[in-house]
């Protein structure tokens, strides 16, 4: 009798447990995304002492797979110049303008990109610098020439650390939690950035998330820059006035010395 009661209670408990479990399972399927990610700071502030900064990206995935994180800066037109020797002196003799170039591009992955995603997938999501840069239209240059200009553009962007040469590491802690550091150098362009996180398994994107990130000048530097661009003539007058006063002060110091 007593035994039967115990068994009954256990069964009921088990049933209740199973019920909650399955409810959870349903909730998971219905509400939880396969990928959740966030960054430690949504604003990179360029202030007086700014010499580059790290932003931590962290998140979790539902199941085993690979994670790719890509950071893209605001798109801008970039003019490239090519020098050639004229009378012994190196002079810019040709120029070419690329439209809509991401002003910053960095990528990090939990495994080599080639292993995670095939070429078509990488091309579609612009995973890797070779896919991130636009090509010149055929009207502007033949295919070979265009390739040279594009390679030169990438080389220049890499030299200025705007396109880090290395693919960063996304580190997994266990099977589900991951983190990576995104580095922004001292000369990082300002504007609205997109941090895109992809969860990829078996050559398929299972989850993706875009997190906005703002890079902007803050404090006195920002005010000076904005003022110089929006109220240029007044900025000029103030610059002259500051110089006149500074010169007068210098003169006063001189006389005493």
Partner 1 sequence: MQVYLPIAELSLDVFVLLGLGGVIGLLSGIFGVGGGFLMTPLLIFIGVPPAVAVATQANQVVASSVSGVLAHWRRGNVDLRMGLVLLAGGFAGSTAGVSLFSLLRQLGQIDLVINLSYVVFLGTIGVLMVMEGARALLRRRRAGPRRKLHQHTWIHGLPLKVRFRKSRLYISALVPLSIGFGVGVLSAIMGVGGGFILVPAMIYLLGMPTIVVIGTSLFQIIFVAANVTFWQATQNQTVDVVLAIILLAGAVIGAQFGTRLGSRLPSDALRLLLGLIVIVVCGRLFFELIAEPIDIYSMSIR
- Interface with partner 1 by CB under 8 A: which residues? 46-51, 76-84, 88-92, 95, 103, 149, 152-153, 155-157, 159, 186-187, 189, 217, 220-222, 224-225, 228-229, 232-233, 235-240, 242-244, 246-248, 250-251, 253-254, 257
Could you tell me the smallest distance in angstroms from the CB atom of residue 179 to partner 1?
A: 28
Q: In angstroms, give the least distance from the CB of 43 to partner 1.
A: 16
Inter-residue contact 199 to 65 (CB < 8 Å): yes
CB 211 to partner 1: min, Å: 25
Phi and psi at 106, nearest 5°, equal -135, 150
| CB closer to partner 1, 164 vs 207 | 164
Q: Which is nearer to partner 1, 9 or 151 (CB)?
A: 151
Minimum separation from the CB atom of position 127 to partner 1 (A):
24
Nearer to partner 1, 80 or 146 (CB): 80
Q: CA 91 → CA 82, 86, 94, 253, distances in Å?
A: 8, 7, 9, 46
In terms of CB distance, is 25 or 160 closer to partner 1? Answer: 160
Closest approach of partner 1 to the CB of residue 27, in Å: 48
Choice between 44 and 60, CB closer to partner 1: 44
Yes or no: say if 38 and 155 are a contact pair by the CB < 8 Å rule. Answer: no
Q: Which two tokens stand for residue 64?
A: 């085993």
The CA distance from 252 to 6, in Å, is 99
Whether the CB-CB separation of 163 and 154 falls below 8 Å is answered with yes
Please, what is the angle between helix 220-230 and helix 232-256, to 10°?
Answer: 120
Q: How far apart are CA 149 and CA 123, in angstroms?
A: 20
């Amino acid at each position: 009798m007593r035994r039967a009661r115990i068994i009954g209670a256990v069964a009921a408990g088990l049933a209740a447990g199973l019920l909650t479990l399955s409810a959870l399972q349903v909730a998971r399927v219905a509400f939880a995304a396969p990928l959740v990610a966030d960054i430690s700071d949504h604003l990179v502030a360029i202030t007086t002492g700014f010499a580059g900064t790290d932003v931590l990206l962290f998140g979790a995935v539902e199941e085993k797979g690979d994670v790719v994180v890509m950071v893209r800066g605001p798109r801008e037109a970039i003019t490239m110049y090519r020098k050639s020797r004229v009378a012994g002196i190196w002079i810019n003799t040709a120029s070419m303008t690329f439209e809509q170039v991401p002003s910053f591009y960095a990528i990090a992955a939990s495994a080599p990109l080639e292993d995670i995603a095939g070429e078509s997938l990488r091309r579609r999501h612009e995973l890797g610098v070779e896919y991130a840069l636009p090509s010149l239209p055929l009207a502007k240059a033949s295919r070979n020439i265009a390739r040279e200009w594009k390679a030169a553009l990438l080389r220049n962007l890499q030299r200025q650390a705007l396109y880090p040469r290395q693919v960063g590491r996304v580190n997994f802690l266990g099977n589900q939690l991951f983190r990576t550091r995104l580095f922004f150098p001292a000369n990082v362009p300002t504007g609205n950035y997109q941090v895109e996180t992809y969860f990829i398994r078996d050559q398929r994107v299972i989850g993706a998330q875009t997190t906005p990130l703002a890079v902007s000048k803050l404090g006195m530097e920002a005010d000076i820059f904005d003022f110089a661009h929006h109220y240029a003539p007044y900025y000029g007058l103030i610059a002259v006035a500051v110089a006149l006063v500074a010169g007068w002060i210098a003169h006063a110091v001189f006389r005493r010395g």
